[in-house]
Structure 1
Amino acid sequence: MGDPPNDWLFYFRGIPFMHQIYNTESLEKLEDFEVMDDDVFITTYPKSGTTWMQVLLSLVYVEGDESRVKDINNFDRAPWLEAMMNDVLNRKRPRLISSHLPFNLQPRMLREGKGKVIHVLRNPKDTLVSFYHFHKLTKFLESPSDFQTFIEQFIDAKVFIGSWFNHVRGWYENTHPNILHVTYEDMTNDLDDVIKKVCEFLGKSLTNQQVESVKHHSSFNVMRDNPKTNHSKVEIFDFEKGTFIRKGKVGDWKDYFTVAQSERFDDVYHESMVGLDLDFIWDLPARKPAN
């Protein structure tokens, strides 16, 4: 494993974490975290749709009544297990909880099937591009020197939370009925269907009007313009270098990867994900504007 990739990160059980947000003592406590039956975890590799699912779930739990959550920051709607333990412990039930942790670092009770998990995953090329811009935006991660360098860091697991391949495989290989796998691409392509699947998974019954409200208030344009979800007031980001919510586009990677870079990444992907029954949508045609 060797030394951490840079001074901004430290290793915990082989996974790189950010000094400014995490510490070993807190991470050690997670193994024995008490999971409640009605806890709902949103688990993701970074830049895979976390914010989107946080907004969507918070709206589902208020039956689409946006007025009940509109003044609440996203990280207060579904606080981070590994970084905001006290906030999680003080939440009223049912608790919405966010986590970037790989499956093997999750609380023992969760791994054994307690609570419910919505795992959101995104095609890795778009994830990589979004993560690249995230590194440039944040004040607590090393800004990548160029895109090629970041591709290699991503492939070599020398980024926050480590290997995308191991992270996704670790979650996706778990077929326990308490885990629902949702892709970013499905959310982009058919949000109605995803909302209905999420509601069914959680045992929530929403009217068509409530579903429409959830869909509207979790749409990309609404989230992008809402300071409670776009993090525009959060001081750890340098907004002169970009925005937290960028494009929300499937296939954005095609504007960044060269043919050679794409082929190199494909080779690594197929080697790393062999035997896993997982198909991503890598691009979506542009939607025609409504008449």
Structure 2
Amino acid sequence: MENMELPPRPKLFDFHGVSMIHHFTDNWENIRNFQARPDDILIATYPKAGTTWVSYILDLLYFGQTAPERQTSLPIYERVPFLESDFHILPPGTELADKLSTSPRLIKTHLPVQLVPKSFWEHNCRIVYVARNAKDNAVSYFHFDRMNQAHPEPGDWNNYLQRFMDGKMVFGSWYDHVTGWWERKQTHSKLHYLFYEDMVEDTGRELDRLCSFLGLSPSAEEKERVRGGAQFDTMKKNSMANYSTVPIMDFKISPFMRKGKVGDWKNHFTVAQSEQFDEDYKKKMKNTTVQFRTVV
């Protein structure tokens, strides 16, 4: 493993108005034409906003009791395929999703709302969108890009933060992403918009809301089991959930699951950066009603 020659890091390019890398566009024809099923559940997020956490919770809710062996034998990225991924170390996400034998199929995406395959809307599929405040999201993404060889080189924090504000990130602008999905929620009845900060503050309450959206009524004991299994520290140690089995991620630089906290941005932003960021944020978010908290 140590001597494995890693390919050079990819470069960003503009794809239908969104910054992308080839790993997520190489298989575009199959993504665009992907056939969703009416009972599919799509987990959508901007990267590093709690995707794996929510994927894991849904997997436990649906299959924790009926197929417990999944928890110990299949990594989360095989149980919940990443639709647009094409990393060549695994089959493309569309193929993994097509091969899923579970019902419902749980599928994850980081695509902005306008790039999601049409069939998800046509079948009125249930979608769980998870959003995280911009400052913590930027910090988490920075550490992720440092350790993930399949993403562009992040450079230093100051330049990275500027790039984040400019939307020059893989999957584009955070601002466009969270507001685009928020707008869609107003017209798509089966979209549950979940905030990372609410999950951290009271996982039980958010689990109840999620179950009621999905039409599930697990017993109190079952809910407790899901809550316990999906605790950050438990998942961080779980090789089936923490991505430690993926060769393109260098855990010596930073773990895939780093802190899972709200407010860690305070350890990264200088006062000047924070003020500049807030100023810019106000401009970019002035036309939306979605509200975020940077502390809980």
TM-score, L = length of structure 2: 0.89
Aligned to 1:289: none
| Distance in 2 between residues matched to 1:274 and 1:111, nearest whole Å | 28
Aligned AA (1:102): P
Aligned to 1:28: 29
Aligned to 2:42: 41
TM-score, L = length of structure 1: 0.90
| Distance in 2 between residues matched to 1:50 and 1:191, nearest whole Å | 15
Instruction: Say which SS state the counterpart of residue 39 (structure 2) adopts.
Output: coil
Structure 1: gaps of 5 or more residues: 1-5, 285-291
Tell me by how many angstroms 1:16 deviates.
2.3
| Distance in 2 between residues matched to 1:95 and 1:228, nearest whole Å | 18
Q: Which moved more, 1:257-266 or 1:135-144?
A: 135-144
Q: Which moved more, 1:221-230 or 1:30-39?
A: 30-39
Equivalenced residue count is: 277
Quick one: structure 1 residues 270 and 111, their matched pair in 2 at CA, closer, same or farther if it must change by over 3 Å?
farther
| Distance in 1 between residues matched to 2:59 and 2:36, nearest whole Å | 19
Quick one: structure 1 residues 126 and 142, their matched pair in 2 at CA, closer, same or farther if it must change by over 3 Å?
same
Equivalent of residue 95 in structure 2, options 72, 86, 93: 86
Aligned AA (1:80): F
The answer on whether the counterparts of 1:10 and 1:18 sit within 8 Å (CA) in structure 2 is: yes
Following superposition of structure 1 onto structure 2, how do residues 248-287 of structure 1 map, counting pairs within 5 Å? 248-284=260-296
| Distance in 2 between residues matched to 1:279 and 1:9, nearest whole Å | 29
The answer on whether the counterparts of 1:59 and 1:65 sit within 8 Å (CA) in structure 2 is: no
The answer on whether the counterparts of 2:128 and 2:192 sit within 8 Å (CA) in structure 1 is: yes
Tell me by how many angstroms 1:112 deviates.
4.5
Following superposition of structure 1 onto structure 2, how do residues 159-198 of structure 1 map, counting pairs within 5 Å? 159-174=169-184, 175=186, 176-198=188-210
Aligned AA (1:138): N
Aligned to 1:17: 20
Tell me by how many angstroms 1:211 deviates.
0.2
The answer on whether the counterparts of 2:34 and 2:94 sit within 8 Å (CA) in structure 1 is: no
Q: Which moved more, 1:135-144 or 1:228-237?
A: 135-144
Quick one: structure 1 residues 126 and 113, their matched pair in 2 at CA, closer, same or farther if it must change by over 3 Å?
farther
Aligned to 1:76: 78
| Distance in 1 between residues matched to 2:205 and 2:100, nearest whole Å | 29
Tell me by how many angstroms 1:163 deviates.
0.4
Instruction: Say which SS state the counterpart of residue 48 (structure 2) adopts.
Output: coil
Tell me by how many angstroms 1:190 deviates.
0.7
Whether 1:127 aligns to 2:155 is no
Aligned AA (2:210): V
Q: Which moved more, 1:9-18 or 1:44-53?
A: 9-18
Following superposition of structure 1 onto structure 2, how do residues 122-161 of structure 1 map, counting pairs within 5 Å? 122-161=132-171
Aligned AA (1:12): F
Aligned to 1:56: 57
Equivalent of residue 217 in structure 1, options 208, 224, 229: 229
Identity of aligned residues (%): 36
Instruction: Say which SS state the counterpart of residue 151 (structure 2) adopts.
Output: coil
The answer on whether the counterparts of 1:129 and 1:253 sit within 8 Å (CA) in structure 2 is: yes
The answer on whether the counterparts of 2:179 and 2:290 sit within 8 Å (CA) in structure 1 is: no
Quick one: structure 1 residues 263 and 64, their matched pair in 2 at CA, closer, same or farther if it must change by over 3 Å?
farther
Aligned AA (1:18): I
The answer on whether the counterparts of 1:48 and 1:184 sit within 8 Å (CA) in structure 2 is: yes
Aligned to 1:246: 258
Aligned AA (1:235): P
| Distance in 2 between residues matched to 1:79 and 1:169, nearest whole Å | 25
Aligned to 2:5: none
